[in-house]
Amino acid sequence: MHKTNGTQMLKGQWLLKGGHVIDPSQKVDQKMDILIKNGVIEDTGSTEQKNFKGKVIDCEGKVICPGLMDMHVHLREPGMEYKETIESGCGAAMAGGFTAVACMPNTHPVVDNRGQVEFILEKAENLLVDVHPIGAVTVGMEGTALTEMGDMLDAGAVGFSDDGLPVADSAMMRRALEYASLFGAPIIDHCEDLSLSGQGVMHEGIVSTICGLKGIPSISEEIMVARDILLAEFTKGPLHIAHVSTSRSVQMIREAKKRGVKITAETCPHYLVLTDEAVKNFDTHAKMKPPLRTAADRDGLMEGLKDRTIDAIATDHAPHAFHEKETEFEAAAFGIVGLETALGLMITHLVNKKVLTLYQLIEKMSLNPRKILNLEGADIQKGKKANLTILDPSMEWTVDTGRFRSKSRNSPFQGWELKGKGVGAVNNHMLFMDL
């Protein structure tokens, strides 16, 4: 058996031996070998090793699935490289088991034109992790003029969002959905009524009252979700709701899907494992937007995952420098890093607690994000490019932010004991193993 730790080029023949393969796109859920030649899947099934001259990776006890994709990350480059770069963010993604990410446009300058899309793609060349830029909906994310969406799509953008800000003007959102519908590209909206959230720093409720902190009410999200659903229904445009955090939002999305509205939705690991109780000790790593909500909201999100109302799990990976979090709660930046903890959190708290099966989790972290963004699937079948995640569902490990590959450490999960981890990734003629 070939021993490897780190990243190397995938030249010649490689045999991933004895792994349990789960590929929802092919309805595969069984133990099999995967033979790869020069980065392409040459065969699957039971592979004889007699006269095999390539390299063998022992995958006994491991699960091999289509490469995971995080459809909502902030890579901070250009303009905020002190928090993260495209290279460091992709390193964090790789370490977390992801082979693809879609990055949001709220950089400096904003990704609102062809040149900025091309810049990101150029910076991401020759990396194991594929980077798919999300272009801004409005110029400068200022909400006053639509961007040249067609030109950005032609350059390689895969969707549009002013994430970090909502598209507040309803007429502008209508035009965005109508324009995007010409291309079939989704509008990804950060649903927040800024007049309601105001200067709030956490969920408005009992805990915010106890802590004496200004609250962000659930309706600040829900009003915008309702508006967006009505606009999507009216325009027939493709709508994706980012980082859903409340149970009422889930219910409205569920009802919209039943009516045939073109709507998809994501939530994040932190909304599934934490509540606003995490803010009681004024931990700024628990400060994010939307804020952590109540246990009832968390339960509603889990129901939405189980009944397919929520299509995807994304991290909203939001790196910040030490000084931006180590300050008073009111002054601290919103957001946490999530790429390196997402898979472990979801296996530990969803799969092992029987909220989702591992098969269903892979759908929401691999298959569905690519469908939503109209990307080619990472199917495990002969003749396809090898785009794989290797995970160990039984590996026990402790979150240590000091070992993160991200440049930032702003995670509320420091010291958490988790079970399940990405230990390898294959993509772009490269193999990464972390054993």
Active site residues per annotation: 316
Identify the CA nearest to 98 among candidates 378, 418, 380: 378
Task: Determine how β-strand 98-103 pairs with β-strand 130-135.
Answer: parallel
Backbone angles phi, psi at 349, to 5 degrees: -105, -10
**Residue-by-residue DSSP string for 6-33:** EEEE--SEEEEEEEEEEETTTTEEEEEE
CB atoms < 10 A from the CB of 31, how many? Answer: 13
236 CB-near residues (< 8 Å, 6+ apart):
181, 262
Q: Are 249 and 241 in contact (CB under 8 A)?
A: yes
Q: Are 207 and 276 in contact (CB under 8 A)?
A: yes
279 CB-near residues (< 8 Å, 6+ apart):
202, 203, 207, 208, 211, 213, 286, 287, 291, 292, 329
Q: How far is Cα 397 from Cα 42, in angstroms, rounded to an integer?
A: 34
Q: How far is Cα 246 from Cα 242, in angstroms, rounded to an integer?
A: 12
Q: How far is Cα 208 from Cα 432, in angstroms, rounded to an integer?
A: 44
- Interhelix angle 86-95/114-123, nearest 10 degrees: 50
Q: How far is Cα 160 from Cα 176, in angstroms, rounded to an integer?
A: 9
CA triplet 275, 276, 280: central angle to 5 degrees? 125
ω into 78 cis (within 30 of 0): yes
Distances, alpha carbon 18 to alpha carbons 12, 357, 382, in Å? 20, 21, 17
Q: How far is Cα 70 from Cα 207, in angstroms, rounded to an integer?
A: 31
Q: Are 348 and 418 in contact (CB under 8 A)?
A: yes
376 CB-near residues (< 8 Å, 6+ apart):
370
